[in-house]
Copies of this chain bind each other. A is one copy, B any other.
Amino acid sequence: MAFKDSLYKSLCRITNGNATKEPEELCCYAYDATGRIFMPDAVVFPCSTFEVSRILELASMEKVPVIPRGSGSGMTGGSLAVQGGIVMAMSRMNHILEIDCDNLIARVEPGVVTGEFHKAVEKKGLFYPPDPASSAFCTLGGNLGECAGGPRAVKYGVTRDYVMGLEAVVPSGAVIHTGVRTAKGVAGYDLTRLIVGSEGTLAVVTQATLKLVPLPESVKTMAVLFPAIDLAASTVCAIIKESVVPRCVEFLDKSSIDCVRGQFGFNVPGDIQAILIIEVDGSQMVAEQDAGKVKSFCLRKGAADVIIASGQKQAAELWSARKSLSTALFRLAPDKINEDIVVPLDRIPEMVKRIQDIQKRTGLSIVSFGHAGDGNIHCNIMYHKKNPQEQMLAESAMDELFSHTLELGGTITGEHGVGITKMKYLPKEVGESEMEIMRGIKKVFDPENILNPGKIFV
């Protein structure tokens, strides 16, 4: 369907000229971290709830897709214009409206970069735990859409646990307010958590009230080196059972270590098969005590070495190695399928074994790292897309991976969402009755199916 010129003119009028349909500009909003490309017909940059409302109202009338977009760092295609239409870039709505130190809450617009928000609240002695690896450039709006997690979820939970209320615009253009500014609230159905994680298919969030916690006085970061992968895997579950709840337990397998070997800030001996990056926090005294407990526990479990970062610099180096992994993987092969499966903690050893089996069977490099402390393993199947046989093998590996995950009581997506890449696998996990209810809910919010169509549901 051709994109009407009159529609474009209306978008320009509503946003005071903050819209574009120049191909060289559109292509900047045509991709995300999946590497797939879908050209939108136009991009619009609203600067207020009122503008978002008028754009959605117009799009509903014209039955044109609207795709809300943060910074396009999503892993499953959530911000791609798969059916063309209008990409709604939230980059101008990037204000931290309030940091309320008395009530430990903040009010933000969706375009605020997550890492900037971290800095702003930490300056005031407060803490916003959700911390996706892309925090340097991803936005809070994107985090809300996907219910982002990150490494600190072990102790602190995910985005959903920090959203108290929302202002959002539904496709009709109506502005809705959900939730509260208080710790408790049960007035009516929980629309807040229904919109969080709905991947921009139900409403466009224009403001969020977020919960903050006091900034822990001290953080201790350590790298635990294991001579065997199964030792690392079984240690993850055991640590938490021992009643120290670390804030992070990150896992890196041998291939991951090889990809970032020079970047840890210390020498990793060649026979090390897995590393856990563990972080504990609390008062100075508690953090030190817990770090000591974790260290001696890991050594008892068979760790070859435990290196406690001596200060912030060494800790930052360690995290930088971990956070650069996702891109460093391309040293192994030009293409990857990146899945964020989750299994119950005690099934991690079995899952790691099964991943190794898939690797053996297919001959592909499969690199596993991620948030082991909550069972969330980022499993990267590396291959050459242009080689049809590798492509086929990679897809069969993914199929198998999901089957094993579900068999072990897990989920096919811990924090990346379904988007377009997992659409066809969703029915493996979610039954038809549940899908029917979800489709029904989608229809309640978006009867014309204009908001981020072609996502989640096959």
Q: Which residues of A contact B (CB under 8 A)?
A: 100-105, 125, 146-147, 149, 153-154, 157-158, 160-161, 170, 174-178, 180-191, 193-194, 196-198, 202, 213-214, 217, 237, 240-241, 243, 245, 282-283, 285-286, 289, 342-346, 371, 374-376, 409-418, 422, 426, 429-431, 433-435, 437-438, 440-445, 456
Instruction: Give the CA-CA distance A183 to B191 in the complex, in Å.
Output: 21
Q: Are B185 and A413 neighbours in the complex by a CB distance under 8 Å?
A: yes
> Considering only CB atoms, which chain B residue lies closest to A147 in the complex?
B186
Q: Are A102 and B241 neighbours in the complex by a CB distance under 8 Å?
A: yes
Q: Are A413 and B183 neighbours in the complex by a CB distance under 8 Å?
A: no
Q: Are B344 and A186 neighbours in the complex by a CB distance under 8 Å?
A: no
Contacts of A343 in B (CB 8 A): 182
Contacts of A422 in B (CB 8 A): 187
Q: Are A431 and B176 neighbours in the complex by a CB distance under 8 Å?
A: yes
Q: Are A342 and B149 neighbours in the complex by a CB distance under 8 Å?
A: no
Instruction: Give the CA-CA distance A103 to B198 in the complex, in Å.
Output: 27
Q: Are A438 and B237 neighbours in the complex by a CB distance under 8 Å?
A: no
Q: Are B433 and A437 neighbours in the complex by a CB distance under 8 Å?
A: no
Quick one: which of B193, B345, B438 contacts A193, CB cutoff 8 A?
A: B193
If the complex has contacts A214-B243, A441-B444, are A189 and B185 also in contact, measured as CB distance less than 8 A? no
Q: Are B441 and A409 neighbours in the complex by a CB distance under 8 Å?
A: no
Contacts of A214 in B (CB 8 A): 240, 243, 245
Contacts of A181 in B (CB 8 A): 344, 409-410
Q: Are B185 and A414 neighbours in the complex by a CB distance under 8 Å?
A: yes
Q: Are B426 and A437 neighbours in the complex by a CB distance under 8 Å?
A: no
Instruction: Give the CA-CA distance A186 to B153 in the complex, in Å.
Output: 14
Residue of A158, A183, A409, A440 with most chain B CB atoms under a 10 A cut-off: A183
- 13 sample A-B contacts, Cβ–Cβ < 8 Å, listed by A number: A170-B437, A177-B431, A180-B342, A180-B411, A182-B375, A185-B411, A186-B413, A186-B418, A188-B426, A188-B435, A188-B456, A190-B198, A213-B245
Contacts of A413 in B (CB 8 A): 185-187
Q: Are B146 and A157 neighbours in the complex by a CB distance under 8 Å?
A: no
Residue of A202, A342, A445 with most chain B CB atoms under a 10 A cut-off: A342
If the complex has contacts A102-B237, A214-B243, A434-B178, are A418 and B188 also in contact, measured as CB distance less than 8 A? yes
Besides A182-B344, A183-B342, A187-B429, 6 other A-B contacts (C-beta < 8 A): A104-B240, A174-B433, A176-B433, A187-B430, A188-B435, A282-B286
Contacts of A431 in B (CB 8 A): 176-177
Instruction: Give the CA-CA distance A422 to B185 in the complex, in Å.
Output: 13
> Considering only CB atoms, which chain B residue lies closest to A213 in the complex?
B245
Contacts of A193 in B (CB 8 A): 160, 190, 193-194
Q: Across the A-B interface, give the 7 residue pairs with the lowest CB-CB distance, nearest first.
A: A440-B444, A184-B414, A183-B374, A102-B346, A193-B193, A174-B433, A185-B411
Contacts of A444 in B (CB 8 A): 437, 440-441, 443-444
Contacts of A177 in B (CB 8 A): 431, 434
Contacts of A237 in B (CB 8 A): 102-103
Q: Are B161 and A157 neighbours in the complex by a CB distance under 8 Å?
A: yes
> Considering only CB atoms, which chain B residue lies closest to A103 in the complex?
B344
